[in-house]
Structures are given as structure tokens and as C-alpha cells.
Structure 1
Amino acid sequence: MKWEAFHHPDFSLPVVRRKVGGELVTLLDQTAGMLLSAGACDFYGHCYPTDKAFRTSIARLQAKGLVVKPHTDGTLPELRLTPEGESMVPDYFNPERRWNKAWNHWWYVLMFDVPEKERSYRDKLRGFLKRLHFGCLQKSVWITPRDIRPEYDDLDHAANVESVAHLFEARTVLGHGNESVVREAWDFDALREHQAQYNACAEKNLSRLAQGNHQPAELAQLMRMDNLAYSQAMANDPLLPNELLPGDYLGKEAHAHHRALLRQVIERS
């Protein structure tokens, strides 16, 4: 079966493709409870080019405490994530926790001025803010509806961030309503384009999946392809609280497609 491939010029697949171990972490997290443990190890093995690559990945993760693989009475081992492993799974694989979190109606605004000679510090700070789903109002003005005071305190103690930055709480951003702030800080037009393309791709694969029987290797290939496609579509999604999401937001539809495809792959395994 030739599955529908997701491609968008904004993304480079080699860049977004996870390392083998990291990809296994997300697959384990998403399919926990869907697969019987006795068959899980065998099914996941089809996601890798060789059995050795799969076993090496498992050993590497186990050594880091990310995956538990207890030995049993000779049956295939159970695979599951430790709490440390779960903490490494990107938020967009469990987005309901972010969407459904109540907003306290405060904006947290971080302003910083890092000297040009400290460009590396500035770039790493921006990268960290992006990982926290901050939106950028201007180059050095970043905003989020999430209370990030604990992270800011950690930054101050570990990286002396208060020497170059200030964190403000604000009820409003003058001249902007909440919807305007959201549109200004995050590129929801581009995000909608990516997610619409993913939704179309997922719908075609769901249709093809419903047609006939598929070999385990084909199902594993589809699960990996969709995992990567969904990651591309959601990578820049700030996962804002429900009341701040634009009316034309497609992230929830993308997540529903992704989960539906996973369920159907598992049912056919």
C-alpha cells in the first residue's frame, strides 16, 4: 500500500525527523493502552530497518531510564515509559492538557536586551522561549498566557537572566484585544495552512487504511509517517487555552485525525 505522504516546503523532513530513540518514546506514549503488551515489542520492531537497530534503541533508552522493559517468564516483554520518558514527549501529543487549562487572564511579557557580543546567549534564550510556546510581539518582546514565573526564576538562578531581561504581568496589551495579541504574536495563518494540509493527508490515509488488509510492516510505516507528519503540522502550535484559540483553528481537527489513525492501525495489528 502506498500511503499519502505529507510534504510542505516550510519543513525539511530530515530536520524534523526524530532520532530513533526519541521516535520510539512518542510511539510508546501514544499507543500505551492501545496495544497488548505481548504484541507491542514485535509491532514496534517493524518501525526500524533491522532488529538490531530496534534492540539497540531500546537498550539506549533503558540505560537513560526512559523505557522500562522488565523480563518475564519468556513471553515478549512489556514496554512502557517511565515518568522521565513521559516528560520528554512533546506537548502536542497530549494537547488537551494545554487547551483545557483555565486562563487566569494575565499575560506574561518578557522583554530583554542582550548585547550583540552575547549573541549566543540571546539565540539560546530565544530558542528556550520558543520551546515554552512564547509568541514574539517584537524581536525582544515575547508573550505567553501561561504563568512562567517558575521557569523565569530558574532562568535567573541558572543563567542570570535578570541582568538582561524583565518579566511583566499585564491584563491587557494597549491597543490590542486578546484576539489581536494572539494574531500578532503567533503566525496562525501559516499554522492553519500546515494543519489543513495534514488533515487532507490524514483523511486520504484513513480512507486507504479502511480498504483491505495490510501487513504489519505497512501499518508500522504508516504510523511512523503519520507521526512525523503530525509533528510537522503541530510543531509551531502554541497550544493556547481554548478561550484564546482563533475561530478558524484546525489543531483540534489535526489531533483527532492523528488519534483516529493510530486507533485504526492498532485495531488492524
Structure 2
Amino acid sequence: MKPADSPEVPEAPATPWNPIPTRTLVHALVREDGTVDAGELYAVAGLLAMTDQQVRLCVKRLVAEGRFTHEGRGRKAVLRAVADPSGSLAPDAAHVRFAYRQDRGLAPWDGVWHLFAFAVPESARAARDALRDTLVGLGAAPVQGGLYVAANPIEPLVEAHARHLGVAAQVTSLTSTDLRVGEAAAPRDLAAALWSLDEIAARHEELAAFARSCLDRLARPEAPTDAERLTLAVQLAAAFTYAMRPDPLLPPELLPRPWPGGRARELTATAWVSLAHRPAPDSGPPLPRLFTLYGDLGGDG
């Protein structure tokens, strides 16, 4: 059990982003100068129910992999990032900006479907799998073998990746305003048939619920400790990543109403501003780079 006077954070729902991997936590606490304060790391890890041994083993592995160097001992040690310190919680800035533009009605759908077909031979199986993953990551959905459709104009990104993989000659792209898949022809019917909208909506509902719990905690008379604030930030970033990475950002015209995505993103942006706020700019230790990465959530982009 926790001591009676230990700080508390909202209980995150049991999802794939909770519990947060120890490695992800270390990356999340990297500051702008590339360092991680071990005392801060152990404090936040404790609030996330991680043991000291768990943290020590993770740090040892990261150092052995050459991702960090280690100076000092115990909680007074300092880790220094050698490799890219962004970690798995770093947002895709373009994806996030586009989401908030959609939420504000600044990216209306033009009624055009963007289709991609490819026939990559088995001898280039790795490139074929990578191309398929790229299409799905960019919001496209499979229609049938080797044929994908997206509602947003992702052609430049797909073509660039296909060239990088050496399969550009095997990729065909086209647009259409007249798409039918089986009996589905109306745009909303097509969206419901091609994308897992219920699952995506559920992830956004979970994000919204956790963002609300963060705001409730921050509204209490007693201010959160530095460790508690960092813990909330790491959890919120993990929940945001969990909700956004599978989201194809379909135009609102294709989504059922009400759709929880916009509200979840609005609550996240509000919670993030509150988490980053300090009474004075120099109060407390330096904030992790995560605060800069998420600092313009909801900005005009």
C-alpha cells in the first residue's frame, strides 16, 4: 500500500497504454539538454507502480544498447541520451496539426477517394509489408488484396515511401468520387464498412475520460507535486498516442455523430496547458522535452 501522505494520480484505465513500459518512461523524462534525472525517474516510476529494480534493469539495458550514458549512483545519477530521445510517445506533428484543423472545420472533405493498388512480388516481401504498413499508418484501409483507399490526399507520402522501398513502379494510384464496395456506396456507409470506427471511438472515449481526470486533479486546492505532474503528463501522452496512432482522421462528413475524437483532443489540449503551467518560469526542475513536443496541441498549425 502507498503511504498515507504519498501523492496520488488519477487511476488510468486498463488499456494497452497502461501500464506504461519502463523504457517508454525513461524516454519520456528526457529533458531538452538530453539528460534524465534519476531521482525524478524513480519518483515517477514509483507513482506508476514500477519497482526500483525494474527501473535499474531498464537503465542498465539502455546503457548497454548505447542509447544512454550513466553518471553517478542511485537517485543522484544522471542519464544522458546518446540516440534519439523522443521515444514512443513523440507525436507525429503533421498528423496532430491536421486533426485539430479538422476539428475546427478547416479541412472539409472534397468528396474524393484516394485509391492505391500494388503488386509487389514475393521476392520483395519485406518492401511489400512495409508499404502496406505505411498505407495503414497514413489512414488507408484495405478494400481487397493489394487495393487500399484513403479519404485524405496522402499520395505524396505514399509515393515517397514507395520510392524509398524501391517499389514505385509497382504502385498505382487514382482518385474517384464514385466508390462502391459490395452494397456500400454512400460515403458514411463506406467509412463504416472499411474502418473500425467503434474501436477508434472507444480509444478516444478513454482519452477523454483520462484527460478529464487530469483536469479534476489539477483543480484541487492542493497543487500536485513535481513528480505527480510529470506522472500525469506521461500518462496523458501515452493515452493520446494510443488514441491517435490508429486514427485515420476521416473527414467529419464520414463519421457518425456525435464523434468523440474532437472532444477528446480538446480536453487533452486543455489538460496539457494546465500541466505545463507553473506559477513562475523558473519554479521547479526543468521540464522534460515531452512538454515541448506536446506544447502546441490545439495550436493553429
In the superposition, the TM-score normalised over structure 2's length comes to 0.63
Matched, 1:52 2:78: yes
SS of corresponding position for 1:167: strand
- Max Rg structure: 2
Among 81, 92, 96, which residue is 2:96 paired with?
92
Aligned-pair RMSD on alpha carbons?
A: 3.5
Amino acid in structure 2 at the alignment position of 1:225 = Q
Over 3 Å counting, the alpha-carbon distance change for 1:215 and 1:97 in structure 2 is: same
Among 222, 227, 244, which residue is 2:237 paired with?
227
Query: What is the aligned partner in structure 1 of residue 210 from structure 2?
Result: 201
Q: Is the 8 A contact 2:134 2:158 kept in 1?
A: no
Q: Is the 8 A contact 2:115 2:147 kept in 1?
A: yes
Structure 2: stretches of 5+ with no match in the other structure: 1-6, 43-74, 280-301
Query: What is the aligned partner in structure 2 of residue 180 from structure 1?
Result: 189
Q: Is the 8 A contact 1:6 1:197 kept in 2?
A: no
Matched, 1:159 2:155: no
Over 3 Å counting, the alpha-carbon distance change for 1:15 and 1:94 in structure 2 is: farther
Query: What is the aligned partner in structure 2 of residue 136 from structure 1?
Result: 142
CA distance in 1 between counterparts of 2:141 and 2:29 reads 30
CA distance in 1 between counterparts of 2:98 and 2:226 reads 26
Query: What is the aligned partner in structure 1 of residue 156 from structure 2?
Result: 150
SS of corresponding position for 2:78: helix
Amino acid in structure 2 at the alignment position of 1:165 = V
User: Which structure is higher in helix share?
Assistant: 1
Over 3 Å counting, the alpha-carbon distance change for 1:15 and 1:113 in structure 2 is: farther
Matched, 1:263 2:264: no
Could you give the per-residue CA deviations for residues 102-128 of structure 1, whole angstroms, max 9, x where no partner exists? Answer: 333211111223334433222111111
Identity %: 21
Amino acid in structure 1 at the alignment position of 2:179 = V
Tell me how many residue pairs correspond in the alignment. 228
Q: Is the 8 A contact 2:162 2:171 kept in 1?
A: no
Over 3 Å counting, the alpha-carbon distance change for 1:199 and 1:185 in structure 2 is: same
Q: More deviation in 92-101 or 196-205?
A: 92-101
Over 3 Å counting, the alpha-carbon distance change for 1:153 and 1:134 in structure 2 is: same
Q: More deviation in 87-96 or 225-234?
A: 87-96
Could you give the per-residue CA deviations for residues 216-235 of structure 1, whole angstroms, max 9, x where no partner exists? Answer: 22111111111111211222
Q: More deviation in 164-173 or 136-145?
A: 136-145
Structure 1: stretches of 5+ with no match in the other structure: 29-40, 67-85
Amino acid in structure 1 at the alignment position of 2:127 = Y
Q: Is the 8 A contact 2:204 2:243 kept in 1?
A: yes
CA distance in 2 between counterparts of 1:3 and 1:107 reads 44
Q: Is the 8 A contact 1:199 1:257 kept in 2?
A: yes
Q: Is the 8 A contact 2:137 2:245 kept in 1?
A: no
Among 219, 223, 241, which residue is 2:251 paired with?
241
Amino acid in structure 2 at the alignment position of 1:120 = A
The offset of 1:149, in angstroms, is 2.9
SS of corresponding position for 1:95: helix
Among 202, 210, 215, which residue is 2:219 paired with?
210
Could you give the per-residue CA deviations for residues 161-213 of structure 1, whole angstroms, max 9, x where no partner exists? Answer: 34433212111212411111211222110111122122222222321221122
The offset of 1:259, in angstroms, is 1.2
Over 3 Å counting, the alpha-carbon distance change for 1:11 and 1:223 in structure 2 is: closer
Matched, 1:118 2:127: no
CA distance in 1 between counterparts of 2:226 and 2:192 reads 43
